[in-house]
Amino acid sequence: MERYSHLKQTDPEIYELIRKQTNYESSTLKMIASESYASFSVLEACGSILTNKYAEGYSGARYYEGNEFVDQLETLAINRAKRLFGAEHANVQPYSGSPANHAVYRALLKTGDKLMGMPVPSGGHLTHGWKVNFSGMDYVQIPYSPNPETGKFDMDQIRQTAKKERPKMIWVGATAYPHKIEYKDFAEIAGEIDAYLVADIAHINALIVAGVHPDPVPYCDVVSSTSHKMLRGPRAGFLLSKKEDRFQTNYFSDSKLNLAQRIDRAVFPGLQGGPHLHIIAGMATAFQEAMTPEFKNYGVQVAKNAKKLADSLLAKGYTLAGGGTDTHLLILDFRKEEFTGKEAAKALAQSGIIANFNMVPGDPRSPFVTSGVRLGTQSLTTIGMKETDMEKVAGWIDRVCRNIVRINDEAPKIRLEIAEFCSQFQFPGITE
């Protein structure tokens, strides 16, 4: 039976938009550092009848009947998450990364408490205490940023700030930081000031699974992640934690609960209602895929491709924030150019290279235009690209940037070349 055949019959407008998006995603270079291609299996689990079921509560303790099989399913997802990351506890119910992070605040802090996190312009996430987000409105962010000269964390500076401000929690994680994070160093600082250490690994989870990025689990009280992005699962979040609380604090209304119980309580009933079981099923499938040797090879190749792309762009004279990358992402720094990050991102998209404009450290331009473009290699690696392909990609990026003033003439030619190039690759969830 043709895929989407029912939808095509009953709702041709939606069918047509999905069809167009599918063609778009398989004829352009998906370089947004937070996107990926989910497999057919993940998509089938997410599109299953599990969307029909209510199951407020947790396995074995639900507020609805009829959950024999979904109890087994959620337990399977939890066990797979624990096994994949070597964690003591997992909660797979958060609807996405922001709700997962919100639950961390509710479990660990009181309103008005201080936390250390990176501001959004420095590469942090909205939920790490940024002022327009609940996390910056209800809690007090003590900011830390990469050193503007080196683009890397200055641990002496971070320690000094932590000791002066004594936040209750330190977020470590980013949406736009191209270097490895040494959780051990952050754990030392958190230990010195009796703060919780929480890692947000949404961007780099597959690199951790592949062993090409330090592992936060041994060092952090809580680890938060999304299951889409590099993990190639559904659009959702999950939390890993230690079982016991190092501090036995009284922040939470019931101080007898251990850390794992407080995390669970914060997610449900603290913030959410019924879990999205179809998404949890897709997540469990993605966790299983991530336990294969192929997935490990993918994680290793993502980092190799990012390094090759960075080196190729540097060789062509481009500046990269932080000087390069040792993760999946790199940030082109256009501070010296007359065009903005936004203009570059638009010109790239017009040419078939889909990325996003992004602040660079010390950016003089506003967050609405920026001086940078963020690129990630995880989607290109997923469809099978290797280092030699990264040289081609760097060539197209260079052509776009050199021709930005006459992009309307150049973009259609590049777009065609890229579509032709893409036709030789296999797209999970798209090409059979």
Which listed residue (235, 296, 335, 392) is catalytic? 235
25, 35, 44, 56: the catalytic one is 56
One DSSP character per residue, 322-342 reads GGS-SSSEEEEE-TTSSS-HH
Q: How long a stretch of residues is the chain?
A: 432
Task: Tell me whether residue 163 is one of the annotated catalytic residues.
Answer: no
Return the number of the residue (143 or 274) whose C-beta is nearest ligand DSN. Answer: 143
| Of 322, 370, 327, residue with least CA distance to 346 | 370
56 as an active site residue: the answer is yes
Minimum distance from CB of 125 to ligand DSN (Å)? 6
Nearest to 251 by CA among 306, 196, 172, 174: 196
Is 54 catalytic? The answer is yes
Active-site residue, from 30, 106, 200, 389 = 200
Report which of 429, 304, 315, 418 is spatially closest to residue 29, judged by C-alpha positions: 418
* DSSP type of residue 116: E
Output the smallest distance, CB 24 to ligand DSN, in A. 18
Nearer to ligand DSN among residue 125 and residue 179 (C-beta): 125
Beta-carbon count within 10 A of 119 CB: 17
Q: How is 351-390 classified by DSSP, letter by letter?
A: TTEE-EEE--TT--S-TTT-SEEEEE-HHHHHTT--HHHH
User: Based on CB atoms, which residue is closest to ligand DSN, 124 or 275?
Assistant: 124
According to CB under 6 A, which one of 175, 225, 340, 370 is a site residue for ligand DSN?
A: 175
Within 10 A of 174 (CB to CB), how many other CB atoms are there?
A: 25
| Span 204-263, contacts to ligand DSN by CB under 6 A | none
The helix/strand/coil state of 418 is helix
> CB-hemisphere CA count at 13 Å for 210?
22
Compute the least distance from the CB of residue 384 to ligand DSN, in Å. 23
Give me the least distance between CB of 270 and ligand DSN, in Å please: 21
Q: Which of 80, 106, 229, 232 is catalytic?
A: 229
Is 229 a residue of the active site? yes
Instruction: Please work out the total of residues on this chain that contact ligand DSN, with binding judged by CB under 6 A.
Output: 4
235 is catalytic: yes
Strand partners, 372: 333, 358
Nearest partner of 63 among 353, 274, 278, judged by Cα: 274
Residue 97 sits in the site that holds ligand DSN (CB under 6 A): yes
Q: Evaluate the CA torsion angle 55, 57, 62, 63 in order and state its sign.
A: negative
Q: How far is the CB of 3 from ligand DSN (least distance, A)?
A: 28
Nearest distance, CB of residue 232 and ligand DSN, angstroms = 15
Q: Is 226 a catalytic residue?
A: yes
Which residues form the catalytic set? 54, 56, 200, 226, 229, 235
Q: What does the binding site for ligand DSN look like in residue numbers (CB under 6 A)?
A: 34, 97, 125, 175
